[in-house]
């Protein structure tokens, strides 16, 4: 995309541009955490414990005297990287399984969809907690636990799209001309399903950050000394009334990041599927009138 086309796109889709810039700033904070953070996120100094927000410590210090601002900056790296890895893995695994199920049909479709139905019969968070509890608390196990309950959405979505595409005339023409199944899959099925899967993935990043933070809050996710927002909230809840900044600032970090990704996902969906966007706006108007 040339600069001229990029400028035209930004003018035509101002909401996407604003939210993309906000998300980019969050990503840059994660990438340049070492430059932005004034202190080490793990270096403790008990004599500086529980200092309120000040010029020296913008967000105050925790019970071990660690600078809270530095820990939140480094926590961006942990929370964002784990969410991106998880969403990418769920989209690839679920998307491929869904495409294969819809294209192959028969026994393959039945087996994959029954596994999906089984996973969907349990509440997502409860099942993730159960899996993480069985595997043990760690970063990798938290990823596996949430991945086990999140791939099903992409599988069902990809399958439904493939079933629609299978009925198109160009698929029948490709089969008539002797095109192999592999060629049809990667030439027609995957490219048609990818935009919707990517939009869903962007929308899921915020939810995934909440899920990872929730597991860490309960002690099943990323373990200390790695700074992570959910675990920081868990550490600060014992001092909520006396030292409220220990929960306020990590909570704000989660809130801002989740809202930014959700807004970006909504705006991208509106651009890629304006029909659905209009329906969504009509529903909102009806609810407001009611």
Lowest mean per-residue pLDDT among 96-100, 118-122, 181-185: 181-185
Lowest mean per-residue pLDDT among 22-26, 60-64, 246-250, 269-273: 269-273
Quick: pLDDT tens for 1-28: 566 666 676 676 677 888 889 999 999 9
What mean pLDDT do residues 245-266 have?
A: 91
| CA 209/CA 159 separation, integer angstroms | 26
Q: Scan for tokens 């604003």, then name that residue.
A: 18
Query: What is the torsional sign of CA 244, 51, 258, 82?
Result: negative
3-state DSSP of 71-124: HHHHHHHHHHHHHHHHHHHHHHHHHHHHHHHHHHCHHHHHHHHHHHHHHHCCCH
**pLDDT of res. 1:** 53
C-alpha separations of 174 from 49, 104, 278 in Å: 69, 16, 34
Q: Give CA 2 to chain center in angstroms.
A: 29
**pLDDT of res. 287:** 46
Q: Give the model's confidence band at 188: pLDDT under 50 very low, under 70 low, under 90 confident, else very high.
A: confident
| CA 92/CA 279 separation, integer angstroms | 29
Q: What is the mean pLDDT of the chain?
A: 84
Quick: pLDDT tens for 25-77: 999 999 999 999 999 888 888 888 899 999 888 999 998 889 999 999 999 98
**pLDDT of res. 290:** 47
Q: Enter the pTM of the model.
A: 0.82
Per-residue tokens: 50: 């529980």
Smallest Cα–Cα separation from 143: which of 195, 71, 212?
A: 212
What mean pLDDT do residues 167-172 have?
A: 77
């Amino acid at each position: 995309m040339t600069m001229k086309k990029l400028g035209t796109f930004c003018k035509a889709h101002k909401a996407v541009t604003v939210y993309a810039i906000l998300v980019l700033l969050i990503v840059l904070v994660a990438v340049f955490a070492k430059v932005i953070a004034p202190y080490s996120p793990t270096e403790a100094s008990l004599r500086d414990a529980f200092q309120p927000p000040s010029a020296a410590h913008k967000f105050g210090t925790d019970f071990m005297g660690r600078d809270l601002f530095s820990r939140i900056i480094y926590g961006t790296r942990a929370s964002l990287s784990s969410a991106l890895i998880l969403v990418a893995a769920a989209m690839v695994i679920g998307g491929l399984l869904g495409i294969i199920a819809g294209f192959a049909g028969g026994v393959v479709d039945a087996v994959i969809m029954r596994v999906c139905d089984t996973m969907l019969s349990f509440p997502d968070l409860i099942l993730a907690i159960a899996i993480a509890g069985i595997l043990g608390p760690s970063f990798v196990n938290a990823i596996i636990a949430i991945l086990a309950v999140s791939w099903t959405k992409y599988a069902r979505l990809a399958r439904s799209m493939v079933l629609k595409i299978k009925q198109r005339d160009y698929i029948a023409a490709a089969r008539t001309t002797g095109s192999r199944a592999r060629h049809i899959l990667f030439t027609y099925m995957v490219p048609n399903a990818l935009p919707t899967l990517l939009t869903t993935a962007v929308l899921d990043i915020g939810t995934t950050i909440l899920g990872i933070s929730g597991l860490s809050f309960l002690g099943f996710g990323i373990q200390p000394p790695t700074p992570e927002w959910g675990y920081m909230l868990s550490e600060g809840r014992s001092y909520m009334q006396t030292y409220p900044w220990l929960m306020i600032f990590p909570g704000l970090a989660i809130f801002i990041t989740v809202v930014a990704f959700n807004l970006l996902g909504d705006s991208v969906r509106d651009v890629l599927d304006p029909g659905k966007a209009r329906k969504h706006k009509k529903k909102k108007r009806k609810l407001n009138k009611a």
